[in-house]
């Protein structure tokens, strides 16, 4: 057998580590790592700008493994290049509390930039990374001082290409000309069900050319020289004025190196088996025991010295930038740390006081815009947007600038791309430097749900603005009227769902969402005008607790729980009951998730167990049973809506102050 080059043995090291780890776990996906090993060697060994000693260095290249089931590809690379991922972690692949989970997870494994697994979301995150890089470069770079200058690389396969979200995000990437986004398409023609020509016959190169991408087609993914040439071509045009994102289409064989299973779906998602592992070792000329590597291969892969040098060079450039532009340097560092401005808390009290003083009734979508107008000047990192509904979601603010193909801005029209928008916002947040929020109608959260879930799983700060939050939107009818959406969003772990009742609650919801650094938030906002209820700025601290006593009654006999637009109904019901001599406490519950995190003593003080409770929300009633119990009552809607004016719908579905008062009266009489 002809002696292999060092580069080829470096690629084989990825193959063998992937084979060994999957075999030990008896679970996993060896096919993609084996098929993309040469591509990975070219990118990670010869081009990727990173420092294993400091995975969060600001100007590093970002790498996203969108085909996340091939997780051993990135785990092998992280181990080989010197990240804090010892061989013992590869040996515990897919085991409890290992840093090598079945799919890459952000915050678990050093060097993993985003959680991937649901196909298509990784490449969409990558679009967010590349967009953030371009915006930050436009905002902070100065002549002779390019402190933001890095690429975003993404690996993706047939599955990502089939998912609709890849169309949403990649089409926008082409329109915005994100030239430092370089994607490697692992075109192996295999998915779990077998050869894809039976269900996937797209002309992918033409598809991406139509998006406005540069496409380099028919690259032999096992020919390192061909991959190298394609990558250099992609990078050469990445900084040109008319540069485009690049798709490098690599023809590969899934499971390359396996004598009997390569090119078949059998190697996609299962261990090779002991006999085929032995055959693969023989075929590759790999005589070492499992999880053992040749010394020269390990040494060649080690990127720590090179990474430290590259970061040091950037630090020198940044020091010169700090001398020339001290204010900009300080602002860049603050924003990359994710810290709020020093004057945030001081300025916020004035914002609350001004909003609480507004006497007019506003839809909470308008209250949200009023809050944005006041908060945006305090937060240069704000990056807003909407999925083609800016005039309805009211996500723009005074003085905002629309981001365009080659122009910086802090507000983006995402187009009708709810899912893509949500995933791109995740990428923007993960990149650092901006705090993204995006709007659509609440009912369309169904489209973006999986990206919302991923943000919650990653514990990252993203804000979703969902307007037209109930049957209160009226005439558009049941296709647009949210019924089950708020309750279902509330049960996503680590997602805070705010449904404010008026202007002050809306402003507090925004403040809490901005201040929260360990997870995403969603604001569910009304189309219809709502009366001001929380008019005293002294209530701010109570609102921050997610649920509080809005209106007390001496010797209360019943509790009325309202949220969002229905809180005013609870207040009206209190007045009806008072006329009958029944004392009712009104509790406003703008965020049940936050309320549930309060000490039990506080929860019991707001919702004493001995008092009967009635909850009212224009949504599915089952969620509220956790608060009212079996003996309480919920006034809600358990069916789809109808097309009619909002006031008629509330009457038709029995979501009225009278219905709340009737339910409360019955509970009081039952004792």
Cα distance between residue 49 and residue 42, in whole Å: 12
And the tokens for 94? 């897919």
Taking CA atoms, 666 is separated from 400, 613, 663, 669, 670, in Å, by 52, 11, 5, 5, 6
List b or e across 346-375, with b for residues whose CB sees 16 or more CB atoms inside 10 angstroms. eebeebbeebbeeeeebbbbbbbbbbbebb
The answer to whether the CB of 322 falls within 8 A of the CB of 67 is no
And the tokens for 151? 């690429």
Phi, psi of 52 (to 5 degrees): -55, -25
Cα distance between residue 36 and residue 73, in whole Å: 8
Cα distance between residue 90 and residue 98, in whole Å: 8
Cα distance between residue 131 and residue 405, in whole Å: 10
Active site residue 418: yes
Residue from 418, 505, 572, 617 carrying the catalytic annotation? 418
DSSP string, 380-437: TTEEEEESS-HHHHT---TT--B--SSS--SEEE--S-HHHHHHHHHHHHHHSS-EEE
Cα distance between residue 363 and residue 426, in whole Å: 28
Angle between the N-to-C axes of helices 326-337 and 304-324, in degrees from 0 to 180, rounded to the nearest 10: 130
Phi, psi of 355 (to 5 degrees): -70, -40
Cα distance between residue 401 and residue 373, in whole Å: 13
Cα distance between residue 658 and residue 273, in whole Å: 69
Cα distance between residue 603 and residue 607, in whole Å: 6
Surface-to-core class of residue 220, CB atoms within 10 Å of its CB (0-12 exposed, 13-18 middle, 19+ buried): middle
Q: Which residues contact 545 (CB under 8 A, 6 or more apart)?
A: 594, 595, 598, 602
> Shortest CA distance to 121 belongs to which of 156, 173, 151?
156
The answer to whether the CB of 564 falls within 8 A of the CB of 526 is yes
Cα distance between residue 49 and residue 62, in whole Å: 8
Question: Residue 447 in 3-state DSSP?
Answer: helix
Dihedral of the CA atoms 105, 106, 111, 116 (nearest 10)? 50
Dihedral of the CA atoms 291, 295, 300, 305 (nearest 10)? 100
The answer to whether the CB of 74 falls within 8 A of the CB of 65 is yes
Question: Residue 353 in 3-state DSSP?
Answer: helix
| Positions marked active-site | 418
């Amino acid at each position: 057998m002809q002696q292999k080059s060092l580069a080829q043995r470096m690629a084989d090291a990825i193959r063998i580590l992937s084979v060994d780890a999957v075999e030990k776990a008896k679970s996993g996906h060896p096919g993609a790592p084996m098929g993309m090993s040469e591509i990975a060697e070219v990118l990670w060994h010869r081009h990727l700008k990173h420092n294993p000693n400091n995975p969060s260095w600001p100007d590093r290249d970002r790498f996203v493994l969108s085909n996340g089931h091939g997780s051993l590809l990135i785990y092998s690379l992280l181990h080989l290049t010197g990240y804090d991922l010892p061989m013992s972690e590869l040996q515990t692949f897919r085991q409890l509390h290992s840093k090598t989970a079945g799919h890459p997870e952000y915050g678990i494994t050093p060097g993993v930039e985003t959680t991937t697994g649901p196909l298509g979301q990784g490449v969409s995150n990558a679009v967010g990374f590349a967009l953030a890089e371009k915006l930050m470069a436009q905002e902070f770079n100065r002549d002779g001082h390019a402190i933001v200058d890095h690429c975003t690389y993404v690996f993706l396969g047939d599955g990502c290409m089939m998912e609709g979200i890849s169309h949403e995000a990649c089409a926008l990437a082409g329109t915005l000309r994100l030239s430092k986004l370089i994607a490697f398409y692992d075109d192996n023609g295999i998915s779990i069900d077998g050869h894809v020509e039976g269900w996937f016959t797209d002309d992918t190169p033409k598809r991406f050319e139509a998006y406005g991408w540069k496409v380099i087609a028919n690259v032999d993914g096992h020919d390192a020289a061909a991959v190298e040439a394609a990558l250099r071509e992609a990078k050469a045009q990445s900084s040109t004025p008319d540069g485009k994102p690049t798709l490098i289409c690599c023809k590969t064989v899934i499971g390359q190196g396996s004598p009997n299973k390569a090119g078949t779906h059998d190697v996609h998602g299962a261990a090779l088996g002991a006999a085929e592992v032995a055959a693969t070792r023989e075929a590759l000329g790999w005589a070492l025991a499992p999880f053992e590597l040749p010394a020269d291969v390990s040494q060649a892969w080690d990127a720590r010295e090179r990474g430290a040098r590259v970061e040091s060079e950037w630090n020198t450039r940044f020091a010169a930038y700090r001398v020339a532009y001290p204010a900009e340097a300080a602002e860049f560092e603050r924003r990359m740390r994710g810290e709020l401005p020093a004057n945030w808390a001081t300025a916020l009290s004035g914002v609350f006081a001004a909003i609480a003083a507004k006497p007019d009734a506003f839809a909470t979508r308008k209250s949200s815009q009023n809050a944005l107008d006041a908060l945006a000047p305090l937060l240069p990192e704000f990056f807003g947007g909407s999925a083609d509904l800016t005039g309805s979601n009211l996500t723009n603010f005074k003085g905002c600038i629309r981001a365009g193909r080659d122009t910086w801005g802090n507000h983006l029209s995402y187009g009708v791309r709810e899912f893509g928008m949500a995933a791109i916002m995740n990428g923007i947040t993960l990149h650092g430097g901006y705090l993204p929020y995006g709007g659509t109608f609440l009912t369309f959260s169904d489209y973006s749900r999986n990206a919302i879930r991923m943000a919650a799983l990653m514990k990252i700060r993203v804000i979703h603005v969902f307007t037209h939050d109930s049957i209160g939107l009226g005439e558009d009818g049941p296709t647009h009227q949210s019924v089950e959406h708020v309750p279902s969003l509330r049960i996503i772990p680590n997602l805070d769902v705010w449904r404010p009742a008026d202007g002050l609650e809306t402003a507090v919801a925004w403040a809490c969402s901005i201040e929260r650094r360990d997870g995403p938030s969603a604001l569910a906002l009304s189309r219809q005008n709502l009366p001001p209820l929380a008019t005293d700025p002294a209530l701010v601290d109570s609102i921050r607790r997610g649920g509080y006593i809005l209106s007390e009654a001496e010797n209360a006999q019943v509790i009325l729980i309202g949220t969002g637009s229905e809180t005013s109904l609870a207040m009206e019901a209190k007045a009806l009951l008072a006329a009958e001599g029944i004392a009712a406490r009104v509790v406003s519950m703008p965020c049940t998730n936050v309320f549930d995190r309060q000490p039990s003593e506080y929860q019991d003080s707001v919702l004493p167990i001995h008092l009967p409770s009635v909850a009212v929300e224009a949504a599915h009633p089952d969620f509220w049973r956790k608060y009212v119990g079996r003996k309480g009552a919920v006034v809600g809607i358990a069916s789809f809506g109808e097309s009619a004016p909002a006031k008629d719908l509330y009457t038709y579905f029995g979501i009225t102050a009278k219905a709340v008062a009737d339910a409360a009266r019955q509970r009081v009489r039952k004792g």
